[in-house]
Amino acid sequence: MASRPAPTLVTPAPLAFVVEVINKWGSVPREVAGERETPFPSLRDLALEHGFRLDPATGALSDESVAQTADALYPLFDTPDVGALVDRVNEVLGLSAVRPSLTRASDGIAEGWITNAPDCLLAACTLALHHHLLAWGDGSRLGLCEGTRCADAYVDSSSAGRRRFCSTTCQNRSRVAAFRARRRGTKTA
């Protein structure tokens, strides 16, 4: 009988790291942006940039494996119904094989999360979204860019909570296109 990998303590990834994994490896964002043939960035470099420590197995993942993780997470950003979002997050948590665990801490006992999965990327990313959803109480701050040549995921951290674009670049591009469309409409009238 094959032995299962030893449980690994999982640290939730920074939310900005999660969004970048989805946008840089996800099939839909890459396809819409015309970047399907563009080489993938370095997962290690991205993790370092966000101050996130990868476990050895995750650091050795192939780009195809990271893309599968990104594709599993992407639909979470396009699920406006809270019930459906809860079900989908629970499904992805199940795929990641993450489970709660108690750990010893300097001041007593602390909550932790462990997995027996060979890598921790899906678990770390899903836990980040899990914590975000618990903090906000719904998924209204998760979204997909409404830009015409963009399908990137984003987390709305604005005070108003009305973000519709992944970046100022996409927002400005959309505003310019709308302005030009209005001008064309007035010229033909």
| Number of structural domains found in the chain | 1
CA distances to 51, 121, 133, 157 from 15, in Å? 11, 13, 11, 11
Model pTM above 0.75: yes
Query: Does residue 125 surpass a pLDDT of 80?
Result: yes
- The answer, yes or no, to whether residue 84 has pLDDT greater than 60, is yes
pLDDT(1) > 60: no
Residue 153 belongs to a domain? no
Domain contains 32: yes
The pLDDT of residue 170 is 87
Higher-pLDDT residue of 2, 153: 153
Predicted confidence at residue 44, as pLDDT, reads 96
Evaluate whether residue 171 is within a structural domain: no
Q: Which domain holds residue 12?
A: 8-140
- What does the pLDDT read at residue 78? 93
Burial 41-80 (b: 16+ CB within 10 A, else e): eebeebbeeeebebbeebeebeeebbbbbbebbbbbbebe
Band the pLDDT of 43: cuts 50, 70, 90. very high
Does any domain span residue 160?
no
pLDDT band at 46 (very low <50, low <70, confident <90, very high): very high
Whether 179 maps to a domain, the answer reads no
